[in-house]
Structure 1
């Protein structure tokens, strides 16, 4: 599927979302395999799948970088509401009677989007993002290790260490350093790709080769560090070896997405943004159901069957969520407003229930799945008007349509 030079569609993004979903499902299926030590295939899937957050965070930045070229920044209130949905959905990843505060995968994406939207309002935002990505990396792997011995053993000291990514903080799954590197880097590259869209389309093979070369060099560097005893560790304080390996993952994933996005199978390898979020609660629910019905997977064969089953059903179910949002949109403003009010009220009640009432794993998983799925449907709906709309003056509308804030 070869896009035209002036096409607004980026098939690479849709394929990259699918690859990120594959990594996520592969990793979470592998971590539930009951075998010690795990088979080499499961161990490899666990390692490779641990790059899923890297792919999703990079995608967040890349997509926002593309959107920032040639478009007005957008309505701040609407952006805050959409980000609020992600923060609300994130609550159902961790809330319990013993945990009332946290920041996990979906919240990190939401806050990254908020940061990038504000960044897009600045001149030279692509250069600022690139410089900030480097600064965040240096904060984690240079400033953080130097500052760690001097940090006091207090809440303030622990918080500073968590911000620098050199110490853990309860509830903070993704410290700003180095995780913000990925959306910031993606944003800078997204703006660059959009500005040079014509050359990108004309020389896509060369771009794919360059991305592969970055992947090969980064892999060699990570293997060198690993051979010297520096482990690949993702959780909490991300290791330098993992960080370099994650750059390799970005390179290889980008190369695959560029090539696959131009193949006849691109349509079948594509996942829309809303569907990629719907996969999150759906694949957790499917894994729980399979474990409850069949027991945990114990070997490579059972892992593969379970992985492929969950992946296929998750992608199909996620597409249904997008279709349901489209159906509500076609039913008109009244249906959309009713959906917003009903979902927000139901999810608020569910969050309170999960926060105060101990319950079985089955009940908790079901409630989390339903709440997150409903919030995901809202992501595909327009935001109801909070006040009567006024027609936009014609002169301003024509002027705005000609304006191009391409200020990198």
Structure 2
């Protein structure tokens, strides 16, 4: 499989190194808008970066990455909750720099290095520590394959402690385990989700079965568990699958799974291309040609709102299957303003829409999937007469019913936050 790669390791990476100068402005733009509108800037930045490569192939690849990241943002919470399992493939390449693992979005080591740099700049310490462990596992994986090892490897990714910071970043308390299997130059990755019980010592028995020595009195942390990721034999593989099976949850019947799979590929992917990608393409082009090289927050809000809407549609589709009701069809008959009002009235929660610099665990590379959680509060009864109000502070637009004080607002109801919510009073 080629010579051992000359990879940049966690221990010698210069966190202050500069990215390609042509992309530095894009990175700064991402940093400036991180945490706004569920990190929608990442989708725009992915396309924007491809403009600097000046090739149709780069743009096509970036468009595919953006589409798949949007698909993951819409579906990952649903898959984790109802199926608990997903899989994808990565590809080994012999390059001038040695053996490297590639997704359709680029080489994994380059993406991980950017993630390490960016995570230190924009995220909490606990996420940076986890990014380091992700990088270290990649080093183990490359070293194993370069030496000729063709067996399986396991990567542990337990939920971090659900502190206020973790909740702010959207973590819900789901652990993940990844099994990597080599098949003729292809790395087949199976990802499993299951609810965390918040006690990392719960892994002690499994670690013993894997012959990983851990002092009994040790209080394990999430990064401790991540550090135990390694090569495994067939008996280890079986022990890990038993551990997962005892904890994972699935709530779909075989028939429901088939219908959902068809809906995801035929409806959700079409919705992405028709309702989200055009906005992202337009915003990326606008930024590229603009004098101030700045993003439009209204556009970012529209992107995240559309992801939110598609998550609702997916849940409505499953509900319709189970209750034999045209739940989705009746929702789709509403105009978008009415759809948003219905979701607000139901206090429908958006999750899974923030990525660590556009990278998705189940569709692209082996780095941490970071989620954002945004709750859209109910806003009263459905309005018959809709008067538009615009907040002078953040520009958020919402509707009130003229003459119905119960729909009026004493502060800005922007679900993503407002710098001066009391600037509005209607």
TM-score tier after normalising by the smaller chain length: under 0.3
Structure possessing the higher relative contact order (Cα contacts under 8 Å, 6 or more residues apart): 1
More helix by share: 1
Name the TM-score, length of structure 1 as normaliser: 0.25
Instruction: Choose between structure 1 and 2: higher strand proportion.
Output: 2
TM-score (norm 2): 0.24
